[in-house]
Structure 1
Amino acid sequence: MRPTSACLAPGFLKRSLDEFKRLSNFALKLEGIRSPSKPFPLIHFNQPEDLERCKRMSDKDIGGYSTANFDYHPVTQTEPSHVRFHGTISTQLPHNQPHIQRTGYAGWRTLDRGSTIFGKSLWDVTMYNFLAIQFKSDGRKYFVNVQTESIVPTDIHQHLLHSKTPGDWETILIKWNEFVRTNHGQVVEPQREMLTQKVRTVGISLIDRIPGPYDLSISKIWATNATSEDEFLNSAPVPQLQSSQNDLKNITRKDSGFGEGSRQKIT
């Protein structure tokens, strides 16, 4: 049996080695028996190359006029290293494309992580209680998006990214079971429990369709049990727990067509 070119690719071998190390540490530390105390990084913007692990999206992909910029900023005396997600939201419809009836959204997400010798590379956050995000917001209504290996590929689990101190760095903790299942920006029923053992991507979107500039900085996103051994929490601003009061079912939403593949027709 001869290995395929994909199996011989450097990225495949590195991912396989990283996954082997992760599984080995998991077994040696008995983390399947007790809750892990260390943080589990999902995306950290520590260097410019980290931007290559993400994908920008906006209605510009279907002919709209919203913009989405993704700029890296190194660590300074007053700020952590981070990415600045910024641009302008426009609800102007593209010309000569009558099938496009809604625009006004922008977002980003991590890329799919590819395959390893152990199979498709996914995040297993089952043993963690929270998703943590260190960010600085302009106060607009952003949403945190989590994609899993769902039966419906366009399903996205969402939670409001609520800023209590716009313009300043802050850290939030979101319980995994408080994410709400959506499809193309709309809450759908029945609600299903998130497959936290098969997380594909994480990201953030702005889908309120309010024209004007936006500006959001993100330093890191990780899974945590919020223990004293979480060095990310220890070095970050005092974390705020996002409560179920921000349930998406109680938020007035506007269908933007934002999803894995933008919906271009109203059915």
Structure 2
Amino acid sequence: MSILLMCTRHLANSAKGPVTLSLLPKVAKCRSIYTTAIRSAFWEKDKKSGYQTKIAEPSKKELILDGLRELKGEIKLWKEEIKEYFEGDPVLIFRAGETDVVFNFKTENALDKWVVTTDADHGEGKSTATLELSATGAGLFHGNVNSEHVKDGIIKRTGYANIRTKRVRRSFKRETTYDWTQYNTLILKIRGDGRNYLINLHTEGYFDLEWNDVYHYVLYTRGGPHWQIAKIPFSKFFLSSKGRIQDRQLPIRLNRVTHFGFSVAAKNYMDGPFRLEVEYVGLEYDPTHREKFAYEMYKTDKYIVAT
């Protein structure tokens, strides 16, 4: 028996008469077997799925004023893009061992390209984090992760902090993506504290089902005063959406990368300070690496829907 029919019969019995249109809105108040929020449409308009945050957003007036202040620089950037389009030639030969740096902290506005968030920004925990320049001229991501959460009966676990690059854009704030298809390896020069960090590669798509596609891989740091070079093939990254590892895994689409970032969590009671120093993030083509994708591709039945 359908839920609508059950509710209609319930209303009819309680009203002791025929069901009228005025009683139909009460159907939504009847008990049902739903355990999640009921959605009235297939399309999801909010990229955060209603997830609340305490980060203040600028007003429309502030956005207009900022746009006018940046107009001159955007025109200059647009001219450079046009010049590069007509004069630039694609690089067709990649030498083994050569690293092309994509993110570093050598420029004055390097920190402006990153966004720092913690559980406290969403009103869920008490973690703190900061991204600043270190004495060696590298990016220093440090703070304190705290697994103590707000006891509201909804939140079960918390204690995290992360940094992420802002959405890559062309001139006049047009959205675009990084194209890393000519590379197969991620190179990092880091100095950590012995914790494990999560590397995040966002591949936000056009449709709402692809808004939260993120590829992950664990970054192991050894601690101590010495720098380390981490070399991670892109074939090792695995797909997740909204924090859930997907059953149907796919190789990362290197021409659809929109954000890059790191995350740290207070898992297994690892509360306390953390410290990750990043000198640069680069890309490399390794001709000896032939692996396309590191994970088995299971064939699932048609009625099993990946979540």
Q: Normalized against structure 2, the TM-score is what?
A: 0.62
Matched, 1:138 2:196: no
Rate the CA distance shift 1:50–1:74 in 2: closer, same or farther, 3 A: farther
Please name the residue that 1:66 is paired with.
127
Matched, 1:16 2:78: yes
RMSD of the alignment, in Å? 3.3
| Correspondence for 1:113 among 143, 146, 168 | 168
Conserved in 1, the CA contact under 8 Å of 2:203 and 2:257?
yes
Rate the CA distance shift 1:161–1:14 in 2: closer, same or farther, 3 A: farther
Aligned-pair identity in percent equals: 22
Rate the CA distance shift 1:189–1:216 in 2: closer, same or farther, 3 A: same
Matched, 1:195 2:253: yes
> Distance in 2 between the 1:222 and 1:198 partners?
17
When Rg is computed on C-alpha atoms for both structures, the one with the higher figure is 2
Conserved in 2, the CA contact under 8 Å of 1:146 and 1:158?
yes
Conserved in 1, the CA contact under 8 Å of 2:116 and 2:163?
yes
| Correspondence for 2:141 among 85, 110, 134 | 85
* Unaligned residue ranges in structure 2 (runs of 5+): 1-63, 297-307
* Unaligned residue ranges in structure 1 (runs of 5+): 76-80, 228-243, 250-267
> Distance in 2 between the 1:68 and 1:216 partners?
11
1:196-247, Cα deviation, whole Å (9 max, x unpaired): 01211111101353211111111111212269xxxxxxxxxxxxxxxx9xx8
CA shift, 1:42, in A, is 2.1
More moved, 195-204 vs 33-42: 33-42
Matched, 1:161 2:219: yes
| Correspondence for 1:222 among 273, 279, 282 | 282
SS of alignment partner, residue 12 of structure 1: helix
Question: Which structure dedicates a bigger proportion of its chain to helix?
Answer: 2
Please name the residue that 2:33 is paired with.
none
SS of alignment partner, residue 135 of structure 1: strand
SS of alignment partner, residue 120 of structure 1: coil
* Higher RCO by CA contacts (8 Å cutoff, separation 6 or greater): 1
Total equivalences in the alignment: 221
Conserved in 1, the CA contact under 8 Å of 2:146 and 2:266?
no
> Distance in 2 between the 1:20 and 1:41 partners?
23
CA shift, 1:18, in A, is 4.7
Q: Normalized against structure 1, the TM-score is what?
A: 0.71
What amino acid is the match of 2:211? P
1:48-102, Cα deviation, whole Å (9 max, x unpaired): 4211100001101122100111121254xxxxx211111111111125x433332
What amino acid is the match of 2:117? M
> Distance in 1 between the 2:146 and 2:95 partners?
44
